[in-house]
Amino acid sequence: MARRRMVYEGKAKILYEGPEPGTLIQYFKDDATAFNAQKHDVIDGKGVLNNRISEHIMTALTSIGVPNHFIRRINMREQLIRACEIIPLEVVVRNVAAGSLSKRLGIEEGTPLPRPIIEFYYKDDALGDPMVTEEHIVAFNWASQQDIDDIISLALRVNDFLSGLFTGVGIRLVDFKIECGRIWDGDYQRIIVADEISPDSCRLWDIKTGQKLDKDVFRRDLGSLADAYTEVARRLGILPEG
Ligand code: C5P
């Protein structure tokens, strides 16, 4: 096969030039990293699982009218996506206290939050993705106030939909992270959901037992990450090929 031009390599994914202008190929690696890549391992099959799970979620989001970059899955590790200009923010939505929120504010993990809480982090590995406010985002021109309003509305729609989807298969959506991008239809700019939505970027707890089915299994050495992600895929009704 002809060598494709690599556009970007991240910790868990690679982007290649796509077959048509305005498209990219997103390749899912088996690499798992945590704590800004201080912890690293290769988990056999993780990329295959995340490719399928993210496909499933993005396709479902498309069906309810939440715009996102997914076009179609190409093979076990690759999907065709729309190219967009990534907004340099990680948008976290939380339903239940956990992780950095629990640590920062001293709220016990597992405490339900009175309402979904949205946080923004500036995507910068060298700075360790610091938390920022809307003031910073507008002042430093990472996004306009209108963009922020659009991002919040997208994030809440994703949260409502995903909470229901996971509840239906006995999983509690504790929190998750999305990234957003801009696309243009002529002069008209739209914000879409980009990157991936998978157990790498969500906290997913079994509703009955509280068992963790997400990347915390790796971050906290709680057992087999591949088994946890396979369980999420099984409950969603999608199992990896081969
Ligand atoms: O670590 P923290 O509690 O802030 O993470 C909140 C949510 O965002 C978790 O679901 C985590 O997996 C996700 N996240 C992510 N990528 C990051 C930071 C957090 O997917 N760089």
Residue 195 zone, left/alpha/beta (φ > 0; ψ -120 to 50; rest)? left
Q: Which atom of ligand 1 is nearest to the CA of 100?
A: 3
- Count the neighbouring beta carbons within 10 Å of the beta carbon of residue 164: 10
Superfamily of domain 6-82: Phosphorylase Kinase; domain 1 (3.30.200.20)
Give the pLDDT band of residue 61 (cuts 50, 70, 90): very high
Q: Please tell me if the CB atom of residue 212 comes closer than 6 angstroms to any atom of ligand 1.
A: no
pLDDT at 241: 53
H/E stretch holding 173 reads: strand 171-185
ipTM of the complex: 0.99
Task: Output the residue whose Cα is nearest ligand 1's atom 15.
Answer: 201
Of 116-130, 170-184, 227-241, the one with minimum mean pLDDT is: 227-241
Q: Token pair for residue 82?
A: 């729309």
109: helix, strand or coil: coil
Phi, psi at 21, each rounded to 5°: -55, 145
The CATH number of 86-235 is: 3.30.470.20
pLDDT at 190: 97
Task: Output the residue whose Cα is nearest ligand 1's atom 20.
Answer: 201
- Count the neighbouring beta carbons within 10 Å of the beta carbon of residue 36: 12
In the chain, what are the domain boundaries? 6-82, 86-235
Say what the pTM is.
0.97
Give the pLDDT band of residue 242 (cuts 50, 70, 90): very low
To the nearest whole number, what is the mean pLDDT of the chain? Answer: 96
Q: Please tell me if the CB atom of residue 51 comes closer than 6 angstroms to any atom of ligand 1.
A: no
Residues paired with 193 in a beta bridge:
68, 180
pLDDT above 90 for 8:
yes
Instruction: Tell me, in angstroms, the distance from the centre of ligand 1 to residue 213's CA.
Output: 14
Asked whether the beta carbons of 88 and 124 are under 8 A apart, the reply is yes
Q: Please tell me if the CB atom of residue 176 comes closer than 6 angstroms to any atom of ligand 1.
A: yes
Give the pLDDT band of residue 2 (cuts 50, 70, 90): low
